[in-house]
């Protein structure tokens, strides 16, 4: 089943539930190669979310700014290859939402411990903004907020649960959004953690 959260934003509740156990296990495996780390924003503040990536490039931030990089600055090695299962899940979700040609080249993996949050922001570091972003929520739930194209636009709040997938295309692709502090609770597959995968299409040769 599918629900439109906003124009261009399609929620597929539980779409990834069948894959979820494998996804969590695969995240653990990827993090042995490219460990979760706390990055710094260009303003010098540490994020409360820990991140890593897989695919042809990975999202990175430090005092030099937000960008996509081909190699992991922490290890000096390329990011791990995007697992076929990740690619297939993201492609299937995008297709379900009306994007049959979505071909993600990067997957950002966010890990939230209790209290971690993500402030209101837009995702504007991708050169391909015509392609949607596919997000997959795993583990403990989170309250997610999203507004409009202006930071000052009113926000809608929505809880995202284990296995939920949202496809952000069209006008929603550039909507402001954020995540409220994650509550201290337990999920049998992830313990106290919440994971979020975001699949993105990046064209640049970098």
The residue ranges that bind ligand MD3 (CB under 6 A) are: 108, 110, 118, 123, 133, 135, 144, 146, 166, 168, 172-173, 175, 177, 179, 196, 198
- The sign of the dihedral angle between the CA atoms of 5, 10, 15, 17 is negative
* Secondary structure letter of residue 64 according to DSSP: T
Indicate which of ligand MD3, Fe ion, none lies near residue 60 (CB less than 5 to 8 Å, by partner kind).
none
Indicate which of ligand MD3, Fe ion, none lies near residue 116 (CB less than 5 to 8 Å, by partner kind).
none
Nearest to ligand MD3 of 92, 174 (CB atom): 174
Q: Which pair of tokens denotes residue 196?
A: 């979020």
Nearest to Fe ion of 78, 174 (CB atom): 174
The DSSP annotation for 133-158 comes to EEEEEEES-EEEEE--SSTTS--EEE
Within residues 70-129, the interface with Fe ion by CB under 5 A covers: 123
Nearest to ligand MD3 of 76, 185 (CB atom): 185
Nearest to ligand MD3 of 76, 161 (CB atom): 161
Binding mask 7-46 for Fe ion (x = CB under 5 A): ----------------------------------------
Classify the phi-psi angles of 101: left when phi > 0, otherwise alpha if psi is within -120 to 50, otherwise beta. alpha
CB 89 within 8 A of CB 20: no
> What residue number has its CB nearest to ligand MD3?
196
Indicate which of Fe ion, ligand MD3, none lies near residue 173 (CB less than 5 to 8 Å, by partner kind).
ligand MD3
User: Residue 76 Cβ, how far from Fe ion at the closest point, in Å?
Assistant: 27
Cβ-Cβ contacts under 8 Å for 65 (sequence gap 6 or more): 42
CB 136 within 8 A of CB 85: no
* Secondary structure letter of residue 73 according to DSSP: T
* Element containing residue 119 per DSSP (H, E): strand 118-121
Nearest to ligand MD3 of 105, 135 (CB atom): 135
Indicate which of ligand MD3, Fe ion, none lies near residue 136 (CB less than 5 to 8 Å, by partner kind).
none
> What residue number has its CB nearest to Fe ion?
123
d(CA 85, CA 19): 8
Contacting positions for Fe ion (CB under 5 A):
123
């Amino acid at each position: 089943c599918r629900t439109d959260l906003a124009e261009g934003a399609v929620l597929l509740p539980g779409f990834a539930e069948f894959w979820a156990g494998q996804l969590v296990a695969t995240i653990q495996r990827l993090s042995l190669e490219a460990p979760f780390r706390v990055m710094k924003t260009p303003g010098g503040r540490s994020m409360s979310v820990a991140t890593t990536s897989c695919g042809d490039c990975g999202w990175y931030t430090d005092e030099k700014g937000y960008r996509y990089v081909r190699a992991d600055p922490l290890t000096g090695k390329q990011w791990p290859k995007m697992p076929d299962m990740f690619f297939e899940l993201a492609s299937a979700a995008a297709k379900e939402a009306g994007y049959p040609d979505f071909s993600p080249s990067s997957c950002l993996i966010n890990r939230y411990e209790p209290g971690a949050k993500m402030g209101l922001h837009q995702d504007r570091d991708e050169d391909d903004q015509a392609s949607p972003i596919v997000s997959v929520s795993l583990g403990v739930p989170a309250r997610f907020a999203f507004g409009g194209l202006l930071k000052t636009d009113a926000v809608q709040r929505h809880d995202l649960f284990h296995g939920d997938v949202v496809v952000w295309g069209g006008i929603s692709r550039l909507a402001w959004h954020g995540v409220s502090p994650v509550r201290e609770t337990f999920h049998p597959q992830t313990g106290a953690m919440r994971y979020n995968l975001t699949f993105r299409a990046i064209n640049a040769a970098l």
